[in-house]
């Protein structure tokens, strides 16, 4: 309901802006082009001749044309649409997520560091990929078996050091979290990271609620030492997933008023169909889908389309 | 004089023919480019010609610096999308050294088989796959690390495919180019033509 109320201004703008635009253009044409004005005047003066009580057929047709233009304006047919500068993503089973650049710049930036427990160091019991910490990784992968957590369609998740998750190395089940690759910085190069962000690791943990937390901690976005980010993905037993972003380098972003009830580790609760913000992190939720038929061992490529990149930093 | 010249040319021809037949598929000597990123990962992809159907053996060896903080791995596969890069998805077999252990994987999804044989910071992993002359399928494999048997009991089918057309060498945690690994791949076949 809240989402519907929030969407009303957008709907109004979407309906009336094109109507006003078409009316303005038509009026200018009639006003400034003598030939058109000469042709149109007798048509629209019919009603005046008959007393002006009822709109003539021409007015009704013009109105219907404008309504039609309004309804069909801006629609794409490829399943990915632009709405308010954001992107609509269609997953299977059908579920739509919206992330706009405005959301990114205003919503998920961290207003303050306090309370950002979600991106604290790995909790007790978490498993750190020691090899990635020791020698670094950009284009590497390993598989986490479903032990202590569960996710439909698969008995494990393949984690790519560049920031992706896949049910299978051959399928793109989850959207890419960034438009650039992440990489884990080996400890010998931690001094090149900004002060205070000199521990670059990947860790994962199975939670008591049977979910899987995977976290890229101080990972280099775009393989750039000056651009470390924290990113976390959580997979839920019902097939949902949540992406969480944190950026402590921006300290003056606005505080989002949307309250969220914290759960374990202070994380934002899972919201199956909406895009929710908190004061500390931004989350993106969605539903995974059954993995595509994997490649055979000799190279037949799956035709599963790659989901479009979501966020641009 | 003419006779000596003829004998010399014939000898050179025979030697050259033998060499060419044994090395019909050029040996692969990939070289890693310098490290350019903070994650230290450096990669080179090597396209290879089609394999010989009648190759009797397939030999592979990888010599590299082996420390507790470096990784050198070699992937075999088919570049299905012809982009000149052997991606993770296209890799059928990954083998190498990773922070203290030699490993073998039948693709990035597969379980990693590790072995801790070998000591020292410079070791050589080598194997020889004997192929069926009729089907070019692997029949048996002998793998060693510095001469010590390794990876016993592994399915021989993952060690060779005639469909492979791209290799990928990856290095991580390497201090400088002096640590660049040496890779040798050789289809071992000899064809003698008699007239």
Cα angle: B117, vertex B123, B128; to 5 degrees: 80
Q: Which residues of B touch A165 (CB under 8 A)?
A: none
Lowest mean pLDDT among A33-47, A155-169, B87-101, B164-178: A33-47
Instruction: Identify any residues that bridge with B185 across adjacent strands, giving them in sequence order.
Output: B60
Please indicate whether, in this complex, the C-beta atoms of A138 and B37 are within 8 angstroms of each other. Answer: yes
Q: Is B44 on the interface with A (CB under 8 A)?
A: no
Average pLDDT, chain A: 62
Query: What pLDDT is recorded for position A21?
Result: 64
Query: What pLDDT is recorded for position A250?
Result: 32
Closest Cβ opposite residue A223 in set B37, B107, B111: B37
What letter would DSSP give residue A150? -
A60 with A97, same domain?
A: no
- Give per-residue pLDDT as tens, A265-283: 333 332 222 222 233 344 4
The shortest C-alpha distance from B142 to chain A (Å) reads 22
Domain that holds residue B16: 2-188
Please indicate whether, in this complex, the C-beta atoms of B173 and A300 are within 8 angstroms of each other. Answer: no
Residue A146 has pLDDT above 50, yes or no: yes
H-type alpha helices, B28-164: none
Query: What pLDDT is recorded for position A41?
Result: 67
Which tokens hold the place of A136?
A: 């670094």
Domain that holds residue A157: 82-287
Please indicate whether, in this complex, the C-beta atoms of A138 and B39 are within 8 angstroms of each other. Answer: yes
What's the rounded Cα separation, in Å, for the pair A80 and A76? 7
Q: Which residues of B touch A158 (CB under 8 A)?
A: 108-109
Closest Cβ opposite residue A139 in set B40, B41, B69: B41
A67 with A96, same domain?
A: no
**Which one has a higher pLDDT value, B76 or A50?**
B76
Nearest CA in chain A to B71: A135
Interface of A with B (CB under 8 A): 130-131, 134-143, 158, 160, 168-170, 183-186, 188-189, 192-193, 220, 223-225, 294-295, 297-301
Q: Is B195 a domain residue?
A: no
Residue A263 has pLDDT above 60, yes or no: no
**Which one has a higher pLDDT value, A244 or A54?**
A244
Domain boundary residue among A72, A96, A128?
A: A72
What letter would DSSP give residue A23? H
Domain boundary residue among A20, A43, A72?
A: A72
- R_g of chain A, CA atoms, integer Å: 26
A139 with A255, same domain?
A: yes
**Which one has a higher pLDDT value, B4 or A105?**
B4
**C-beta of residue B52 within 8 angstroms of C-beta of residue B189:** yes
What letter would DSSP give residue B28? P
Domain CATH number, residue B74:
2.60.120
**C-beta of residue A286 within 8 angstroms of C-beta of residue A277:** no
Q: Which residues of A touch B106 (CB under 8 A)?
A: 297
A281 with A137, same domain?
A: yes
**Average pLDDT per consecutive 10 residues, chain B (195 residues; last block may be shorter):** 56 47 56 91 85 74 91 94 93 94 92 83 89 84 91 90 90 77 72 38
Which tokens hold the place of A279?
A: 């004061």
What's the rounded Cα separation, in Å, for the pair B137 and B61? 20
Please indicate whether, in this complex, the C-beta atoms of B77 and A299 are within 8 angstroms of each other. Answer: yes
A148 with A8, same domain?
A: no
Lowest mean pLDDT among A126-140, A187-201, B2-16: B2-16
Residue A146 CB-density burial (10 A; 0-12 exposed, 13-18 middle, 19+ buried): middle
Q: Is B180 on the interface with A (CB under 8 A)?
A: no
**C-beta of residue A218 within 8 angstroms of C-beta of residue A71:** no
Residue A1 has pLDDT above 60, yes or no: no
Q: Is B38 on the interface with A (CB under 8 A)?
A: yes
Mean pLDDT score, A174-197: 87
**pLDDT band for position A42 (cuts 50, 70, 90):** low
Please indicate whether, in this complex, the C-beta atoms of A134 and B99 are within 8 angstroms of each other. Answer: yes
Q: What is the dihedral of CA A39, A43, A49, A54, to 10 degrees?
A: -150
Residues 6+ apart with CB under 8 A from B133: B54, B56
Please indicate whether, in this complex, the C-beta atoms of A295 and B109 are within 8 angstroms of each other. Answer: no
Nearest CA in chain A to B158: A297
Number of domains chain A contains:
2
Query: What pLDDT is recorded for position B134?
Result: 79
Q: Is A301 a domain residue?
A: no
Which tokens hold the place of B79?
A: 């570049």
Cα angle: A290, vertex A295, A301; to 5 degrees: 100
Q: DSSP assignment of A81-116, as one string?
A: -EETTEEEEE-SS--EEEE-HHIIIIISS-S-STT-
Query: A131 phi and psi, to 5 degrees?
Result: -65, -40
The order of strands in the sheet holding A156-160 is A141-145, A156-160, A164-166
What's the rounded Cα separation, in Å, for the pair A211 and A179? 26
What letter would DSSP give residue A51? T
For B:77-96, CB contacts with A below 8 A are: 77-78, 80-81, 88-90, 92
Closest Cβ opposite residue A186 in set B40, B43, B109: B40
């Amino acid at each position: 309901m809240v989402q519907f109320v929030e969407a009303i201004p957008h709907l109004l703008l979407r309906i009336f802006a094109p109507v006003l635009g078409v009316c303005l253009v038509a009026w200018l044409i009639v006003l400034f082009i003598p030939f058109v004005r000469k042709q149109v005047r007798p048509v629209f003066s019919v009603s005046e001749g008959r007393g002006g009580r009822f709109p003539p057929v021409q007015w009704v047709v013009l109105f219907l044309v404008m309504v039609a233009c309004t309804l069909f304006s801006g629609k794409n047919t490829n399943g990915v649409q632009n709405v308010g500068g954001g992107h609509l993503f269609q997953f299977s089973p059908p579920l739509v997520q919206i992330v706009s650049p405005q959301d990114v710049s205003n919503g998920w930036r961290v207003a303050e560091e306090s309370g950002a427990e979600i991106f604290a160091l790995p909790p007790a019991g978490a498993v750190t990929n020691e090899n990635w910490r020791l020698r670094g990784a950009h284009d590497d992968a390993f598989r986490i078996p479903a032990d202590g957590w569960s996710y439909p369609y698969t008995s494990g998740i393949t984690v790519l050091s560049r920031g992706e998750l896949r049910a299978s190395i051959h399928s793109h089940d989850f959207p890419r979290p960034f438009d650039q690759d992440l990489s884990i910085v080996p400890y010998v190069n931690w001094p090149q990271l900004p002060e205070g962000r000199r521990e670059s690791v990947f860790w994962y943990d199975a939670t008591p609620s049977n979910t899987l937390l995977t976290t890229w901690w101080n990972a280099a976005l775009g393989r750039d030492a000056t651009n470390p980010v924290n990113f976390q993905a959580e997979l839920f037993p019902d097939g949902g997933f949540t992406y969480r972003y944190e950026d402590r380098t921006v300290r003056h972003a606005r505080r989002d008023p949307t309250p969220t009830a914290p759960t374990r580790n202070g994380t934002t609760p899972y919201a199956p169909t909406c895009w929710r913000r908190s004061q500390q992190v931004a989350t993106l939720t969605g539903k995974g889908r059954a993995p595509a038929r994997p490649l055979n061992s000799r190279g037949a490529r799956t035709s599963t389309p790659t989901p479009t990149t979501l966020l641009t930093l | 004089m003419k006779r000596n010249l003829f004998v010399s040319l014939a000898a050179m021809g025979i030697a050259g023919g033998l060499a060419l037949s044994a090395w019909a598929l050029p040996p692969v000597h990939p070289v890693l480019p310098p490290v350019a990123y903070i994650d230290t990962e450096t990669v080179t992809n090597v396209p290879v010609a089609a394999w010989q159907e009648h190759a009797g053996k397939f030999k592979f060896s990888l010599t590299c610096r082996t420390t507790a903080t470096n990784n050198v791995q070699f992937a075999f596969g088919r570049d299905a999308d012809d982009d000149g890069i052997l991606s993770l998805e296209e890799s059928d077999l990954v083998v190498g050294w990773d922070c203290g252990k030699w490993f073998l994987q039948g693709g990035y999804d597969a379980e990693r088989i590790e072995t801790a044989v070998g000591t020292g910071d410079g070791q050589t992993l080598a194997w020889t796959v004997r192929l069926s002359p009729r089907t070019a399928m692997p029949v048996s494999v002998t793998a060693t690390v510095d001469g010590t048997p390794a990876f016993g009991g592994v399915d021989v089918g993952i060690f060779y495919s005639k469909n492979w057309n791209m290799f990928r060498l990856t290095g991580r945690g390497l201090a400088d180019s002096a640590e660049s690994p040496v890779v040798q791949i050789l289809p071992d076949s000899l064809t003698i033509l008699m007239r």
